[in-house]
Amino acid sequence: MVCKTYPMELNRMAKVEDNMASIIVAQLLFLEAENPTEQINLYINSPGGSVTAGMAIYDTMQYIQSPVSTLCNGQACSMASLLLAAGEAGKRYALPNSSIMMHQPSGGAAGQASDIAIHAREILRVRERLNRIYQKHTGIRDVETIEKMVERDYFMTAEEAMNFGLVDKVLEKRKEQKEAAPKKD
């Protein structure tokens, strides 16, 4: 379920999938149109899901003028961890008992050998792209570190995610997030 809870806030508590991504993309674009300079808060509690749906959200977050703050309240696993990391630098948060998990993409293919080979090349290309995005948002210099981490499911506490660079701060109280928000003129 996605809803606009307060002006400029989106609450997303579901699997990352095409219908949900379409709603989130539309809401991000709408909120930007309402006030392109005001911060949008995106709350994430998700087990992850579709890479293509997640990339639609990711690309929109990067495309819009409004800064997008992300906050994990519960879990941000798989594709949701990438969305968490993709928030505005300095505005990526997790609550203390959040769980964050990264891993490589998974999928399956059936059919002729040549079609299976095509799908195998594509998932390897997607894995490389996701690793580069994690590298960009975490500040980790060598992509090999990320490649090793995502080889299998890699779970982190909120504190570990902060040390890794997926989030900027672990929040105890809402006022800490408000104190970090840009001041209105």
- Quickly count: other Cβ atoms within 10 Å of residue 164's Cβ: 20
- Is residue 28 over pLDDT 90? yes
Residue with tokens 């989130």: 24
Stretch among 7-21, 61-75, 116-130 having the lowest mean pLDDT: 7-21
Answer yes or no: CATH 3.90.226.10 is held by domain 2-104+151-176.
yes
pLDDT in tens, 79-138: 999 999 999 999 999 999 999 999 999 988 899 999 999 999 999 999 999 999 999 999
Clarify whether 103 is annotated catalytic: yes
Radius of gyration (Cα) for the chain, nearest Å?
A: 17
Out of 28, 103, 158, 170, pick the active-site residue. Answer: 103
- Is residue 2 over pLDDT 70? no
Residue with tokens 């998990």: 101
For residue 131, give the nearest of 155, 43, 156, 123 by alpha carbon.
Answer: 123
For residues 127 and 124, give the distance between their C-alpha atoms in angstroms, rounded to a whole number: 5
Domain ranges across the chain: 2-104+151-176
Region 141-167: mean pLDDT is 97
- Determine the pLDDT at residue 183: 55
Share of the chain above pLDDT 70, in %: 88
- Determine the pLDDT at residue 14: 82
- Determine the pLDDT at residue 176: 72
CA 154 to chain centre: 15
